[in-house]
């Protein structure tokens, strides 16, 4: 895999904040925000591809930007024309202030329910707020407008954000066509189901594609993790079980072939500063 190397870039993108109203854990309106990266030279007369990139457990809209060199990945890739400039959105999946969560470790069922619940917020609140303010391929802020532009929209995330990415695959396939689950398995069956019930996880994911009215030609998955990452043992069995359904998940090591890829970074642990390298590695293959 290609590793990212930090480079000073003359022309940098900017990060702006988009506020939007969502619902808190009691169902009451409350204000949230997403950070939005606009590539250098953002021109509102053009239509941009867009990536939604989700934080891990305990994170927030600043986590990716604070804990990795992800901004430099985009600045550099766009400056060097490795990829066409796209917009990147860093939302937050929680519907309560993270500091009020359990501090002693992660409650998997609670985290999983937050990530699943966020799918509705993405559809109804985040996409309209962001794509209403910046110019993407969505020609209207309606379900039809988002559906018609789904090939220009990607979603990815780290850890619980990877779980969110798998949930988007199973219930928001009409919004997104490109998926980057990084260091987290699908919890479609149960927490850690990618490990404990890999076959059923893979079969259900395949079924969800059909249920949503799509085929294997309608998506691509760029999964990744690290060999020393705590998610490796959860994600790898799921990937293997998905490979066993090639009529839906057409695996290829060649990123220009198939619809399904998995890269494991040697010596890498469960951290933003490790997984962000995978975005650099995949960046020229996302919107092609």
Nearer to ligand FER, 129 or 221 (CB): 221
Does position 160 interact with ligand FER (CB under 6 A)? The reply is yes
Torsion of CA 127, 132, 137, 143, to 10 degrees: 50
Does position 57 interact with ligand FER (CB under 6 A)? The reply is yes
* Closest approach of ligand FER to the CB of residue 68, in Å: 16
Q: Per CB under 6 A, which region of 8-16, 157-165, 214-222, 239-247 contacts ligand FER?
A: 157-165
Q: Per CB under 6 A, which region of 45-53, 121-129, 227-235, 242-250 contacts ligand FER?
A: 227-235
φ and ψ at residue 123, rounded to 5 degrees: -65, -45
Q: How many residues bind ligand FER (CB under 6 A)?
A: 13
Residues 104-143 that bind ligand FER (CB under 6 A): 106
Residue from 95, 162, 220, 281 touching ligand FER (CB under 6 A): that is 162
Report whether 115 contacts 95 (CB < 8 A).
no
Q: Which long-range contacts (CB under 8 A, 24 or more apart) does 123-129 make?
A: 123/172, 123/175, 125/20, 125/21, 125/22, 125/32, 126/20, 126/34, 126/52, 126/89, 126/91, 127/175, 129/18, 129/19, 129/20, 129/34
Torsion of CA 162, 230, 196, 214, to 10 degrees: 20
Q: Per CB under 6 A, which region of 47-55, 61-69, 231-239, 253-261 contacts ligand FER?
A: 231-239
Does position 226 interact with ligand FER (CB under 6 A)? The reply is no
- Residues of this chain that interact with ligand FER (CB under 6 A) are 56-57, 106, 159-160, 162-163, 184-185, 230-231, 234-235
């Amino acid at each position: 895999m290609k590793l990212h190397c930090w480079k000073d870039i003359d022309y940098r993108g900017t990060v702006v904040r988009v506020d939007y109203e969502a619902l808190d854990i009691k169902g009451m309106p409350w204000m949230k925000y997403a950070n939005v990266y606009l590539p250098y030279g953002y021109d509102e007369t053009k239509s941009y591809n867009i990536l939604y990139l989700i934080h891990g457990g305990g994170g927030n809209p600043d986590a990716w930007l604070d804990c990795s060199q992800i901004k430099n990945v985009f600045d550099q890739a766009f400056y060097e024309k490795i990829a066409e400039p796209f917009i990147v959105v860093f939302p937050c999946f929680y519907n309560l202030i993270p500091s009020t969560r359990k501090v002693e470790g992660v409650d998997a069922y609670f985290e999983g329910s937050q990530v699943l619940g966020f799918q509705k917020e993405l559809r109804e609140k985040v996409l309209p707020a962001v794509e209403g303010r910046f110019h993407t391929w969505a020609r209207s802020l309606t379900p039809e407008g988002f559906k018609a532009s789904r090939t220009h929209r990607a979603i990815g995330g780290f850890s619980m954000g990877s779980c969110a990415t798998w949930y988007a695959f199973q219930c928001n396939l009409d919004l997104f066509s490109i998926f980057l689950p990084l260091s987290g398995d699908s919890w479609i069956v149960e927490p850690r189901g990618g490990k404990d019930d890999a076959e059923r996880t893979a079969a259900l994911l395949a079924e969800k594609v059909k249920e949503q009215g799509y085929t294997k030609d309608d998506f691509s998955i760029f999964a990744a993790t690290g060999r020393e990452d705590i998610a490796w043992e959860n994600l790898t069995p799921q990937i293997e079980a998905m490979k066993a359904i090639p009529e839906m998940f057409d695996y290829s090591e060649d990123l220009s072939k198939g619809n399904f890829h998995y890269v494991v970074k040697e010596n890498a642990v469960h951290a933003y500063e490790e997984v962000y390298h995978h975005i650099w590695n995949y960046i020229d293959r996302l919107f092609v």
